[in-house]
């Protein structure tokens, strides 16, 4: 199985990246893994022109197609997102907006290969799990419109720094067991 891990944070070496590292090392034992960080790509904001509603193509030229090629490669996608004001970071939201050509709410639209599974991990610095649920809902809503089957999620509160991930590795590995059992 091919698994794509997406660091939805603009921080390449923080707590989100540490979670990605933990998931990667657990799943690489039996899967092909690609890691990407959303901030490594040039993603222009959606202009709202709706050209893609007629053509299933975006008029902008940037790295969205490169990321979509990674989605196409993957059998399962794991988005790991920190909380930025109780939602996904702006860089990842810009990517979601630019996926409108693949969105199933209009015809024509591009399509990813069928049968993909999506997983979400949300983290935040505070103790309120409700905020993690909101992030997970954003990611799963995106998956739904991309026709990726939401297949599991994990919320992690009280993670401010990458050192905080160490004490949560058992939870993360248990979540990886779920991914393994469903792939």
Q: How far is CA 168 from CA 56, 87, 141, 162, 171, in A?
A: 42, 21, 26, 11, 5
Interval 69-94: pLDDT, tens: 999 999 999 999 999 999 999 999 99
Interval 12-27: pLDDT, tens: 999 999 999 999 999 9
Interval 26-70: pLDDT, tens: 999 999 999 999 999 999 999 999 999 999 999 999 999 999 999
Find tokens 């199985």 and name the residue: 1
Find tokens 């610095």 and name the residue: 125
Would the pTM of this model clear 0.85, i.e. be above it? yes
Contact assessment for residue 6 and residue 79, using Cβ atoms and an 8 Å cutoff: yes
Q: What is the DSSP letter of 59?
A: S
Contact assessment for residue 116 and residue 92, using Cβ atoms and an 8 Å cutoff: no
CATH of domain 2-182: 3.40.50.360
Q: Quick one: pLDDT at residue 16?
A: 98
């Amino acid at each position: 199985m091919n698994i794509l891990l997406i660091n939805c944070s603009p921080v390449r070496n923080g707590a989100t990246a540490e979670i990605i590292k933990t998931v990667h090392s657990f799943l690489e034992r039996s899967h092909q893994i690609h890691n990407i960080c959303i901030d490594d790509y040039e993603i222009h904001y959606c202009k709202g022109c709706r050209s893609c509603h007629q053509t299933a193509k975006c008029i902008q030229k940037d790295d969205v197609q490169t990321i979509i090629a990674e989605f196409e490669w993957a059998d399962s996608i794991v988005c790991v997102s920190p909380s930025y004001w109780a939602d996904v970071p702006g860089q990842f939201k810009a990517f979601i907006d630019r996926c409108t050509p693949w969105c199933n709410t209009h015809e024509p639209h591009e399509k990813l290969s069928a049968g993909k599974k999506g997983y979400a991990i949300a983290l935040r610095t505070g103790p309120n799990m409700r905020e993690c649920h909101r992030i997970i809902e954003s990611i799963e809503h995106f998956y739904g419109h991309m026709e990726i089957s939401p297949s599991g999620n994990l919320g992690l509160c009280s993670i401010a720094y990458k050192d905080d991930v160490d004490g949560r590795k058992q939870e993360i590995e248990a979540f990886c067991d779920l991914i393994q059992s469903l792939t």
